[in-house]
Homo-oligomer: A and B are copies of this chain.
Amino acid sequence: MKTPTLGQLATENGAQVVGDPDLAVRGLAPLDQAGPDQLSFLSNPLYLAQAASSTAAAVIVSPADLERLRAEGHAEGRHWIVARNPYVVFARIAQRFDREANADLRTGIDARASVAADAVVPASCFIGPNVVIESGARLGERVRILANSFVGAGAQVGDDTLVYANVSIYHRCVVGARCILHSGVVIGADGFGFAPDIGPAGVEYVKIPQTGRAVLGNDVEVGANTAIDRGAMADTVIEDGCKLDNQVQIAHNVRVGAHTVIAGCAAIAGSTHVGRFCVIGGSANFAGHLNIADRTTVSGGTSITKSITKPGGHYTSVFPFLPHGEWEKNAAIVRGLSKLRERVMQIEKRLRGEGAGNRNTQEIEGKSS
């Protein structure tokens, strides 16, 4: 592990150095904590004052913020990495240090792993204790699978993917390259598909075999205890670059477009297609068989019950929280809203009667739905 210089870090990330490119940097820290051998970053102008007084070896800044610091006399004699998006450059440099500090250099198959004779496991892989890899499964180069995880028959895992402990990947499912699956993830369990039949006392359910797969693209991260079901006949698909947080539920035949992010506990019901570049808030839920346009933002806790056709919108459905006593009062009125509306209509009717020909009240009426 060789200490990188400011110049190296800038070059690796397409950024410029202002100051000494030979300066050695030993790690990253927030502006107010960074010591004289650490790099910091300024991604929000709110923290300009912190950047001005930071004791960091150097700071990653945008051209505009460096101008501001220079104008205020804080740039002279100091060292900078100048980048269009300092937060992204910070993230990439943080990855570099993290990789070096935490490199898991183990390779090979633990003596306690169970790997089927016909499974493909390159020598560059690490397979932890008690991992089970069933017949016909195929791993790419440098795949790491930590302890007690399961890879079903015929499943595929792409190059450089990291599978944490206690993950389950069902038979024939596909995980792309450079993915990260956190502990408790389940890929490819049966979708929730049943044919309703009339039983002697009510509707009973006959299982429909789920013969599709769950297919994840490249660069997908899946959070702890998230479940992505296999498709009924066709596949469930998570496209490249998607990031799913913990405890997310993806039902059968869902498609999530590339680079969409889904926060914790969100749930997407069967056959719903979510567009690309969407941002789905935590605990949001989607009904089944919907189409959600690209670049849609959905607030946390929101229920989406209809398709959204216009790209780029932001939608919310949360009842505003209130002190419980006030909520009770308002909830009672919500229960009787149609009566309240009726009362307003009666008043308008009466006033219309009184002021016949009054242009104003007719307009009002016209505006109401």
Contacts and interface: CB of A to CB of B under 8 A. Distances in A.
A2 interface: no
A70 interface: no
Contact of A114 (B112, B221, B224): B112
Copy number in this complex? 3
A327 interface: yes
B186 A184 contact: yes
Contacts of A225: 184, 186, 225, 227, 247
A183 B182 contact: no
A53 interface: no
Interface string A323-359: 1101111111111111111111011101100010000
A197 interface: yes
A335 B314 contact: no
Interface string A21-52: 00000000110000000000000000000000
21 contacts: A88-B206, A110-B114, A132-B147, A183-B186, A184-B225, A189-B224, A192-B245, A201-B276, A202-B277, A202-B294, A205-B259, A224-B229, A245-B249, A264-B267, A297-B324, A302-B321, A315-B321, A318-B331, A320-B332, A340-B368, A344-B344
Interface of A: 29-30, 85, 87-88, 90-92, 94-95, 97-98, 102, 110, 112, 114, 128-130, 132, 146-150, 152, 164-168, 170-171, 180, 182-184, 186, 189-190, 192, 194-199, 201-209, 211, 221, 223-225, 227, 229, 233, 241, 243, 245-247, 249, 251, 259, 261, 263-265, 267, 269, 276-277, 282-283, 285, 287, 294-295, 297, 299-306, 313-324, 326-344, 346-348, 350-351, 355, 360-361, 364, 367-369
